[in-house]
Structure formats: structure tokens, C-alpha cells
């Protein structure tokens, strides 16, 4: 029983990260700086929504209370969402959006690669499906980080400002608690220290190539994994949940 | 009594809603087909996680089978093994080219973070002198290219492995 609730919690964190970031990226629809990037950001959003659906379906199955992916995605209160604070941060300018994406992609890729080896079959299958998409997202975000960092004076300054702002949220990506430890002990999920080392290697090499710097200060924010969110989350959810709250059980 | 082969033949008539020249069998998304408790189970593998065409394909597929006198069918989505563009048939690749979409080319090392964009030949003039405009395109499965020789902008069906 303990293992099941830990697995439910673990999968919900993955799905909430995907859903909330997808919602943020969707806000760019029709507002991208160039048409190609408008399309790119919404394509990435769509991939993340697809991953979230598979993950919520699996979480619902593990939970066994008859909830479906729409109920999990739309009908919970703010403190029941367990996404990291990073993904709920406002889009800001294009540099802020792409740096947020880069930090997330560089985390998700090694995590999915490791989860492909999980003995939890459905989780391994979702990871194997999603890893290909995530690799493509990371390629896209890394190329932009380099293009902006090693670009003009203004693009460099904006990219560095985005890093300086977002850095405080990155440590939470590697949050662990009793749920993670129970699953790790059973050999079902990787340790976050392992993922963090791979994340750091990617971040260091891409930022170096981009002539950008890792901030010196180590100020760390967290709380999202425990349901304590930043002020932005409530506004985001009111947009996200509006249709289901106004028209319960609606379908397209 | 209908057989599995009959059903496979019927599915040849169901097209991809976003790339209508391709049937779902060309696309390689149809897996096992079997009878379970009087119901035909059709296994489908999604191409991309969030591809909105998958829902439409399910609706079209069930409608087609109903039309053929098989009302007792059900679609089952399976994730593993994950779909790859290697499953697109040779006939499917040919159809893509004629339709103006460059079919996926073999990209050996998909795990490298940085690599040159794949060399794709123009579906209009066959020139290899083309360039990638954007990693993303009109649907989840495509990237945007342009031919330097004839100037034609075209879609490239991304290699997914």
C-alpha cells in the first residue's frame, strides 16, 4: 500500500510538471516573436500535454479511485498540484521562456532515460515514448540559449538576466522525500543525485558555449513539490481550469 | 466470418487526417489485431504523445469497420515498443514524396545534442541543396525546410527513433 501511494505521488509530480509547463508555453500561441518559434513553442506544449495525459492515466490507474485524466488535470485545488516552482514562473521575455525550458529539458532527458529502465512497466513505456520528444526539445532550447548568449549585447544580457532570475528555482528539480526514497529502495526510480549530476554537466557545457555564467549565489526556492506555490500559480490555474469549472464534465 | 486479414485490408482505407495521402497502415501505427470476447481489438501506437490526429484516427477507424459490418471493435492504445518512423512503409514514403513532404531520412546518431541538420532532398526538384528553416513545422511530426535550388519551402517528416 505504502509503495502504491508513493508511486501515485511520484507520477503526479511528473504529470503536473508537464501540464503546468505546457499551459505556460500555450500562452505564447499567437504571440511568438517569429512564426517559426510560435509554432515550435506550441508544438512542445502539445508534446507535454500528450505526456501529461499518459502520466495522469497511469496515476489514476495506480490510485484506483476511478478518477480520469481530466479530473486529475482540472479538478484539484492549488495545494494538490505538485509541480516544481520553475514551471509555473511567468513567461517573461523570449529569453526567460527559453532558459526555463532549457533548465527543464536538461532535467527531464536524463530522468526519462533512467526511467526507461524502471521495472514499473507502464512508467518505463511512457518514458521510452517521451524521451525521443524530450531530446528534440533539449536540442531546440540549447540552440537558442547558445544563439542568445553568444549573440548580440542585448540578447546576451537578457539571457544572463533570465539565468540569474531562474537559477534559484533549479535546485527544486532534484527534490526528494520519503516517497522517492521508498521507490528508490525498491529499485523502481533513479536517485535524484544521479540526475542532478547529468543536468549539471549539460548546463555547464551549454552555458559555457553560450558565454553565459552560472550565478555565484546559492539562494534556493522550493515548496512546489509539497503543494506550496508561488503567487503566479493561482492565476495560471484559473485560466487552466476555467472551462471544466464553468461547464463540469465538458468534452470537446 | 471476418478474419484478421479482412480487417487489415479495411484499415488500408482509413487515412491519416493530417496527411490524407497516407493510410494508417502506411504510417505503421497498426499493431496486433485480435478477437477477444466477441470484440475485435485493434492495437494502435501513437506517433507523438500529443498528436491530435490519434483521436480522429480512432473515430474514423471505428466508423470504417462499422460501415464494413463490424460494429464490435475497440481501439487499444499501446505505448511500448514506441513508434518510430522506421515503421512507415516504402509505399508510404513514396506517397509522402509525391505529396510534397520529404520522407524521413536515416539520422544515425539521434542522441547527440548537437549535430548538423539531416541532408534532405527537395520533394519537388530532388536537389540535395536544401536548408532547415525550423526544427518544428505544421504538425508534431514535421520540420520546416526550404530548397536552395528551386526555392520551394517544404515539410520534412522528422526521423523519430
A40, B136: Cβ pair inside 8 Å?
yes
Q: Are A175 and A196 in contact (CB under 8 A)?
A: no
Q: How many other β-carbons are positioned within 10 Å of the β-carbon of residue A80? A: 11
Neighbour-count burial of A67, counting CB atoms closer than 10 A to its CB (0-12 exposed, 13-18 middle, 19+ buried): middle
Q: What is the CATH superfamily name and number for domain A2-219+228-246?
A: Ferritin, core subunit, four-helix bundle (1.20.1260.10)
Whether A247 has a pLDDT exceeding 80, the answer reads yes
Orientation angle between helical segments A192-209 and A121-149, nearest 10 degrees: 20
Cα dihedral A96, A100, A102, A106, rounded to 10, equals 160
How far is B67 from chain A, CA to nearest CA, in Å? 24
Report how far apart, in Å, the C-alpha atoms of B113 and of each of A64, A129, A137, A149, B148 are: 39, 18, 10, 17, 26
Question: A36–B140: do the CB atoms touch at under 8 Å?
Answer: no
Please list every residue in chain A whose beta carbon sits closer than 8 Å to the beta carbon of residue B59: none
Domains of chain B by start residue, with CATH:
4-83 (3.30.300.130), 101-157 (no CATH)
* Spatial separation of the C-alpha atoms in residues B145 and A178, rounded to whole Å: 49
From chain A, the residues in CB contact with B48 under 8 A are 46-47, 50, 133
pLDDT mean by block of 10 residues, chain B; 161 residues: 92 94 95 95 92 91 96 93 94 95 84 82 95 91 95 93 81
CB contact under 8 A, A43 and B111: no
Taking an 8 Å Cβ-Cβ cutoff, which residues of chain A contact chain B? 36-37, 39-40, 43-44, 46-51, 53-54, 121-122, 124-126, 128-130, 132-133, 135-136, 138-140, 142-143, 202, 206
Closest residue by Cα to residue A167 from A131, A217, A204, A130: A217
Considering only CB atoms, A139 lies closest to which of B83, B113, B133, namely: B113
pTM value? 0.94
Question: Can you tell me the ipTM of this complex?
Answer: 0.88
The chain A residue lying nearest B49, using CA atoms, is A50
> How many angstroms away from the CA of B65 is the closest CA of chain A?
23
pLDDT tens figures, A106-126: 999 999 999 999 999 999 999
Cβ pair B134:A39 closer than 8 A: yes
The pairing of beta strand B101-102 with beta strand B130-134: unpaired
Domain boundaries, chain A: 2-219+228-246
DSSP state, residue A69:
H
> pLDDT tens, B82-122?
999 999 999 999 999 999 999 999 877 767 778 788 889 99
Pairing of strands B101-102, B153-157: parallel
Nearest alpha carbon to residue A100 among A170, A172, A27: A170
Answer yes or no: are the C-beta atoms of A50 and B51 closer than 8 Å: yes
Amino acid at each position: 500500500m505504502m509503495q502504491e501511494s508513493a508511486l501515485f505521488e511520484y507520477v503526479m509530480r511528473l504529470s503536473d510538471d508537464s501540464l503546468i509547463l505546457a499551459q505556460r508555453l500555450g500562452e505564447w500561441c499567437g504571440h511568438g516573436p517569429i512564426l517559426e518559434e510560435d509554432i515550435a513553442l506550441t508544438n512542445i506544449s502539445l508534446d507535454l500535454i500528450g505526456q501529461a495525459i499518459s502520466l495522469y492515466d497511469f496515476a489514476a490507474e495506480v490510485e484506483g479511485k476511478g478518477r480520469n485524466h481530466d479530473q486529475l488535470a482540472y479538478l484539484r485545488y492549488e495545494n494538490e498540484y505538485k509541480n516544481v516552482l520553475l514551471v509555473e514562473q511567468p513567461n517573461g521575455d523570449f529569453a526567460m521562456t527559453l532558459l526555463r525550458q532549457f533548465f527543464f529539458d536538461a532535467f527531464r532527458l536524463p530522468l526519462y532515460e533512467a526511467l526507461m529502465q524502471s521495472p514499473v512497466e507502464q512508467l518505463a513505456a511512457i518514458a521510452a515514448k517521451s524521451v525521443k520528444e524530450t531530446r528534440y526539445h533539449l536540442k531546440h532550447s540549447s540552440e537558442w540559449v547558445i544563439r542568445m548568449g553568444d549573440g548580440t549585447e542585448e540578447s546576451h544580457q537578457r539571457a544572463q538576466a533570465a539565468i540569474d532570475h531562474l537559477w534559484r528555482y533549479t535546485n527544486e528539480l532534484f527534490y526528494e522525500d520519503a516517497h522517492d526514497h521508498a521507490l528508490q529502495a525498491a529499485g523502481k526510480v533513479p536517485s535524484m543525485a544521479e540526475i542532478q549530476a547529468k543536468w549539471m554537466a549539460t548546463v555547464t557545457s551549454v552555458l559555457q558555449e553560450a558565454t553565459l555564467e552560472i550565478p555565484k549565489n546559492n539562494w534556493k526556492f522550493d515548496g512546489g513539490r509539497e503543494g506550496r506555490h508561488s503567487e503566479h500559480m493561482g492565476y495560471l490555474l484559473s485560466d487552466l481550469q476555467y472551462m471544466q469549472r464553468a461547464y463540469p464534465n465538458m468534452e470537446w | 466470418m471476418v478474419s484478421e486479414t479482412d480487417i487489415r485490408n479495411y484499415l488500408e482505407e482509413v487515412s491519416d487526417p493530417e496527411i490524407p495521402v497516407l493510410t494508417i497502415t502506411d504510417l505503421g501505427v497498426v499493431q496486433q489485431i485480435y478477437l477477444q470476447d466477441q470484440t475485435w481489438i485493434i492495437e494502435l501506437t501513437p506517433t507523438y504523445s500529443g498528436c491530435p490526429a490519434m483521436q480522429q484516427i480512432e473515430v474514423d477507424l471505428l466508423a470504417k469497420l462499422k460501415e464494413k459490418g463490424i460494429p464490435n471493435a475497440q481501439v487499444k492504445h499501446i505505448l511500448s515498443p514506441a513508434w518510430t518512423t522506421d515503421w512507415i512503409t516504402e509505399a508510404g514514403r513514396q506517397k509522402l514524396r509525391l505529396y510534397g513532404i520529404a520522407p524521413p531520412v536515416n539520422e544515425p546518431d539521434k542522441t547527440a545534442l548537437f549535430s548538423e541538420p539531416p541532408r534532405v532532398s527537395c520533394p519537388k526538384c530532388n536537389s540535395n541543396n536544401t536548408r532547415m528553416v525550423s526544427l518544428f513545422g505544421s504538425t508534431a511530426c514535421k520540420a520546416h525546410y526550404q530548397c536552395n535550388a528551386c526555392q520551394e519551402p517544404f515539410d520534412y517528416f522528422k526521423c523519430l527513433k
